[in-house]
């Protein structure tokens, strides 16, 4: 029933072992749902997603993805990950880059799969252009393409809507909802709240490594103007409780 189970996970880095970047978070994310992890800059979103895909490890607590450890090689083939700022080989074309990714996943029908994926992210027209000539939006689309080329069961997207114009955002949202309709579980880091309301079944608000609240966007917005108002108010209240210094008017 749950694709992602996070239990009492904390993370600190060896350089500052006393500073917890992620503080005792627990989450259960249902199979086939779209989950939004929302929080301001430096909240711990990327640190969390890196632990979920096995690129980093919790200092405390446990993570299970489809009942397996994120490091499990069988599981790894079923995951898709779009990092925050994907780095590409600039001299390759989009097509050549995806050929390289496909080879890592032992994909057999490579040409067919690449064409289908490029079409899905609307990048087929630029497949033979070198990546260094791509615009920011095109790079985002290529980042998404490399994350879905293996038809993942669980897809992790770190700020997939960043740098896209409204048209591009609408297209990516459509792709996300299409993947959801096929049963993919999707975990999204973002701070674009309007988009979250449209595509996420459940969201958690995280600030300074702590999850403040988890629920559906409509439930979290109750009693507030909208989700953004709920987000800002909850974070400010928590910071006041902690005794953080607040700037007047914020």
Ligand X SMILES: Nc1ncnc2c1ncn2[C@@H]1O[C@H](COP(=O)(O)OP(=O)(O)OP(=O)(O)O)[C@@H](O)[C@H]1O
Contact residues: Mg ion, CB under 5 A: 45-46, 84
Q: Strand pairing of 210-215 and 202-207?
A: antiparallel
Would you count residue 43 as binding ligand X (CB under 6 A)? yes
In the region spanning residues 15 to 34, those forming contacts with ligand X, defined by CB under 6 A, are 15, 21
> Smallest distance, Å, CB 156 to Mg ion?
12
202-207, strands of its sheet edge to edge: 79-82, 154-158, 185-190, 34-38, 202-207, 210-215
One residue of 6, 27, 38, 45 binding ligand X per CB under 6 A? 45
- Measured from the CB atom, is 21 or 102 closer to Mg ion? 21
Q: Strand pairing of 185-190 and 154-158?
A: parallel
Joined together, the tokens standing for residue 143 give 């980042």
Binding mask 56-85 for ligand X (x = CB under 6 A): ----------------------------x-
Residues 184 and 29 sit within 8 Å (Cβ to Cβ):
no
> Using CB distances below 5 to 8 A depending on partner kind, what does residue 47 bind out of Mg ion, ligand X, none?
ligand X
> Using CB distances below 5 to 8 A depending on partner kind, what does residue 13 bind out of ligand X, Mg ion, none?
ligand X
22-30, strands of its sheet edge to edge: 22-30, 2-11, 60-65
**Site residues, ligand X (CB under 6 A):** 13, 15, 21, 39, 41-47, 84, 191
């Amino acid at each position: 029933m749950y694709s992602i189970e996070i239990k009492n996970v904390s993370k600190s880095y060896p350089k500052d072992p006393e500073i917890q970047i992620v503080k005792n978070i627990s989450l259960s994310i249902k199979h086939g749902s779209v989950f939004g992890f929302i929080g301001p800059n430096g909240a711990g979103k990327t640190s969390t997603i890196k632990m979920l895909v096995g690129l980093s490890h919790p200092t405390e607590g446990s993570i299970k993805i489809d009942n397996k450890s994120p490091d499990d090689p069988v599981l790894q083939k079923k995951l898709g990950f779009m990092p925050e700022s994907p780095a590409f080989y600039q001299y390759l074309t989009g097509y050549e880059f995806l050929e390289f990714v496909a080879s890592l996943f032992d994909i057999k029908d490579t040409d067919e799969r690449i064409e289908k994926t490029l079409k899905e992210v609307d990048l087929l027209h630029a497949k033979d252009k070198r990546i260094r000539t791509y615009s920011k939006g095109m790079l985002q689309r290529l980042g998404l393409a490399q994350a879905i080329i293996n038809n993942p069961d669980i897809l992790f997207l770190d700020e997939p809507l960043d740098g896209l114009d409204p048209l591009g955002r609408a297209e990516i949202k459509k792709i996300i909802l299409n993947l959801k309709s096929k049963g993919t579980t999707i975990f999204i880091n973002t701070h674009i709240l309007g988009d979250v309301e449209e595509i996420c079944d459940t969201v958690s608000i995280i600030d300074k490594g702590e999850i403040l609240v988890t629920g559906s966007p409509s439930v979290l917005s109750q009693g507030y103007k909208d989700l953004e108002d709920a987000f800002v108010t909850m974070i400010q209240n928590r910071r006041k409780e902690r005794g953080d210094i607040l700037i007047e008017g914020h």
